[in-house]
Structure 1
């Protein structure tokens, strides 16, 4: 697999950070459910068309949604559909309710997705999942999907940059500016890149979900690095 740097900072601003209408892939928002579903609500983007690009995009979205509905410690079934996972979520709750009839708190899952950035070369999708299986509080997880617009395949974080070390230096600068009290972090002296990196019209979104680097009380930690700061460090996945 090869990678090529994006042309120049000026070109990237026009190309990567461009209007959604520049990309050929179109999306609609669909609601996914089943006949027996009472607990799960899902509203996610769907890439239109039967071409390979749309199939790949929808497959990547389905993987994230299905993983969000997974309960238990066993490895999720990567081949299971969203509908199958909805049914399993409801079945797990019904079994739980039988075993613990004194528990009156119903489970719930709400999953919403949106296309947050789109260009001829890159599509970035945000999927927010809220699940509550009877604990003290529900759990919110935001996942970013960065997809090659020419193939529909997911781009790993390490493939986004042609110099990850230099990017980490810039990211740490903006991270330090965004954290008012580092004592709230698990390891205040150790910086780590966010596992969730997304694109927007303003730049790169760096997002840490709850418990990733700080306790629940800190909530989701998020900051944006302006596009002009990272343009020269970006790379794209070559389709050949």
Structure 2
């Protein structure tokens, strides 16, 4: 009888232990398309694991894709699925061809994503988009999405850095070095501001300015990396 009770308590202990064990968020790469789609390609990571966490992450990835494929006011991006965003982009192209049949320039959109960093505290996903809607040139854009690994909530830059002014002062020399390598580019270095995109990577914090963010199109994307030993005093999340 004592042996049966002992085995029963062991089973209960193991059950509770398994329930309390954290399920680590994993990622798989998915390709998303629709019928009659010939101009949009989407390859992005999909979060798998605890539903309350993965739903938040996948929702933000979907929003980023929807914004990239949206034609019109950037402040009125509809809350739709990736498939619906692809469908709408194709429909906009068909409408454009009907309105301007003499135009031979094709539209295209390429969206790729990858998990560039993952730790017990933070997950960083980079979404790279290229869209061309018949203009003189296409537009490339990189978006860093930082997530709290324990909740799935998106982390804003304000919550990523503990002291913005001190961090900006530390980052300024890295910015100066990055723009010094750009030929024929003119910058107001005294008006230095942190970029909209700050992302965790394996060997440092990346600060990235997209095209047109602080310079003309010809300058392209500007980015630089700050080693963790320099950035760590200002980080709200542990990078290890």
Q: Scaled by the length of structure 1, what TM-score is found?
A: 0.85
Matched ranges for 1:57-206 at <5 A: 57-73=57-73, 75-180=75-180, 184-206=185-207
Which stretch shifts more, 175-184 or 35-44? 175-184
Aligned mates of 2:214, 2:161 — CA distance in 1: 23
Displacement of 1:104 after TM fit? Answer: 1.0
Aligned mates of 2:118, 2:129 — CA distance in 1: 22
Relative contact order, CA 8 A, sep 6+: which one is greater?
1
Q: Secondary structure at the match of 1:214?
A: coil
Displacement over 4 Å in runs of 4+: none
Structure-2 change in CA distance of 1:112 and 1:60 (3 Å): same
Q: Secondary structure at the match of 1:131?
A: strand
Q: Is the Cα contact below 8 Å between 2:123 and 2:146 reproduced in 1?
A: yes
Aligned mates of 1:193, 1:120 — CA distance in 2: 26
Q: 2:28 corresponds to which residue? A: 28
Which stretch shifts more, 72-81 or 179-188? 179-188
Q: 1:214 corresponds to which residue? A: 215
More helix by share: 2
Structure-2 change in CA distance of 1:184 and 1:74 (3 Å): closer
Aligned mates of 1:45, 1:89 — CA distance in 2: 21
**Stretches of structure 1 lacking an aligned partner (at least 5 in a row):** 1-22
Q: 2:14 corresponds to which residue? A: none
Displacement of 1:181 after TM fit? Answer: 6.3
**Stretches of structure 2 lacking an aligned partner (at least 5 in a row):** 1-22
Displacement of 1:76 after TM fit? Answer: 3.3
Displacement of 1:121 after TM fit? Answer: 0.5
Q: Is the Cα contact below 8 Å between 2:106 and 2:134 reproduced in 1?
A: yes
Displacement of 1:186 after TM fit? Answer: 4.8
Q: Is the Cα contact below 8 Å between 1:159 and 1:236 reproduced in 2?
A: no
Q: 2:17 corresponds to which residue? A: none
Q: Secondary structure at the match of 1:184?
A: coil
Q: Is the Cα contact below 8 Å between 2:109 and 2:132 reproduced in 1?
A: yes
Displacement of 1:74 after TM fit? Answer: 6.3
Q: Secondary structure at the match of 2:154?
A: coil
Q: 1:225 corresponds to which residue? A: 226
Displacement of 1:233 after TM fit? Answer: 1.1
Q: Is the Cα contact below 8 Å between 1:60 and 1:153 reproduced in 2?
A: no
Q: 2:16 corresponds to which residue? A: none
- Deviation track 1:189-227 (CA, whole Å, cap 9, x = no partner) reads 310101100111111000000111111111100100000
Q: Secondary structure at the match of 1:37?
A: coil
Count of aligned residue pairs for this structure pair: 216
